[in-house]
Amino acid sequence: MKKQTSTRVFSGTFSIIAISPDHRLMGVAVASGSTFVGDRVPHAKPGVGVIVTQAYTRIAYGIKGIELLEKGLTPTETLDRLLEEDNERDLRQVAIMDFEGRKAVFTGANIPEYTAEIIAENYVVIGNLLSRKEVVNCIAKAFESSTDNLACRMTTALKAGSESGGDKRGENSAALIVVSNEKVEVNIKVNAHANPIGEIIHKLKA
């Protein structure tokens, strides 16, 4: 029963996962009207991949998903396995990417609107409980337009998402994780903050 309760934690969230063109770095950046989003939604492991599990978040998608990627399953195979084991799959929104740049995305049918997703060559943007569907387009455009390093590109993208409407409730927490093949390069979580994305940008510059 305790495990079932954890699957009902709602994280109205917009996220981007991305890989650098040379495949040396991967990252996940998220922002949410919920608090402590960084403790539930983003998952990353050096040399393995990144995962975001949001909407009615099931943390096991991140924990077990990373384990399956590490065993050699592709993102698609990993996502299929996780969905097979979840009788509440229509409440989930998930994106997975590995260091080969392979991707898998799922948006369940019973997630609060607005939901949206964009799958591109080097990144994926997903969101739910958005103020409008166009939020994900603004995130994608900002990411593509930036020529900075991966961490800054991703936070610039989050900022654009927020400024275009973001979460219907506004944003109260955010997180950024960037990993290489060898180690965690960046790990910033900002909780219960009036401007969590701005605080991440400030911490990156510090």
Q: Distance between CA 6 and CA 16 in Å, rounded?
A: 23
The confidence score (pLDDT) of residue 5 equals: 38
Give the phi and the psi of residue 155 in degrees, each rounded to 5. -70, -35
In this structure, the chain runs to a length of 206
Which pTM value belongs to this model? 0.94
**CATH superfamily membership of 2-205:** Aminohydrolase, N-terminal nucleophile (Ntn) domain (3.60.20.10)
Q: Distance between CA 49 and CA 40 in Å, rounded?
A: 16
Element (H, E) at 66: helix 60-70
**pLDDT bracket for residue 62 (50, 70, 90):** very high
Checking if the pLDDT of 152 tops 60, the result is yes
The confidence score (pLDDT) of residue 81 equals: 98
Q: What is the mean pLDDT of residues 142-146?
A: 97
The confidence score (pLDDT) of residue 190 equals: 97
The confidence score (pLDDT) of residue 8 equals: 61
